[in-house]
Amino acid sequence: MKVQKYLRKNNTMMHKIIDKFNPVIEVLDHSQKMCIKEFYAGDKCYSFNNFLLTDAFNWKDAGDGVTYLVFNITDSIKKVIAYYTLATTSIPFIDRIKDDDGNNSDQTWGIPSVEIKMFAVCKEYQDLFFQDKPIAAWILEHVISEIDKMSRNSLGIKAIFLHSTKEGENFYLNNEFHDIEENMEPLHSVDDGLREMYLSIRPFVMNYE
């Protein structure tokens, strides 16, 4: 309890609240090059700072992911405060079934999903709150809502999948994401500090034919 009280007090001292938050979402295109040059997530976020300049365009052209810029427009100033990149994917799993002769047979299935491939917030907005929650939470909730709408209107989607950074883990856990590491086996064994997480948005039913 003492620790919780300390953290609560510490956090109330740490976060600042902005009065105005007027977010606009735009799909990345070349006309925004001047704005995206200014995106800065921090000194240790080199790959995230540079992603928008080249990779994001290459990914879009190659069908590897579409990047959405989050602008905040206040007092006629338009600033890129965050971005996220979405792509379709599939969470693969192996189902073991018995054939008519009683032999085990492994079949590979996939759960249709959307992957949040990149998600970064600029340094200035990292600890900022609007009303009762951080800017990052506002953006994530918007992304979840958009994907849910897609799954109802335009594309079959049952889950949102992502590789969380170390600092993002608790953020996602607090937003109903779940860890799937214990059930999974990586195709490439790389200790990159990223953690696979998912949020299911529709049930998955096995249809054996």
Residues 121-150 that bind another protein (CB under 8 A): 121, 123, 126-127, 129, 132-134, 136-138, 140-142, 144-146, 148
Q: By C-alpha distance, which of 74, 71, 86 is closest to 25? A: 71
Among 61, 99, 106, 209, binds another protein (CB under 8 A): 106
CA 161-125-66 angle, to 5 degrees, is 40
Is the distance from CB of 135 to CB of 128 less than 8 angstroms? yes
Phi-psi region of 65 (alpha: psi -120 to 50; beta: other; left: phi over 0): left
Burial class (CB in 10 A: 0-12, 13-18, 19+), 175: middle
Q: Which is nearer to another protein, 60 or 126 (CB)?
A: 126
- Which residue of 33, 38, 95, 152 would you call a contact of another protein, by CB under 8 A? 95
What residues between 16 and 35 interact with another protein by CB under 8 A? 16-19, 21-26
Could you tell me the smallest distance in angstroms from the CB atom of residue 196 to another protein?
A: 5
Residue 98: half-sphere exposure toward Cβ, Cα within 13 Å? 3
- Beta carbon nearer to another protein, 79 or 126: 126
Rounded least distance, CB 68 to another protein, Å? 9
If one asks whether residue 50 binds another protein (CB under 8 A), the answer comes out as no
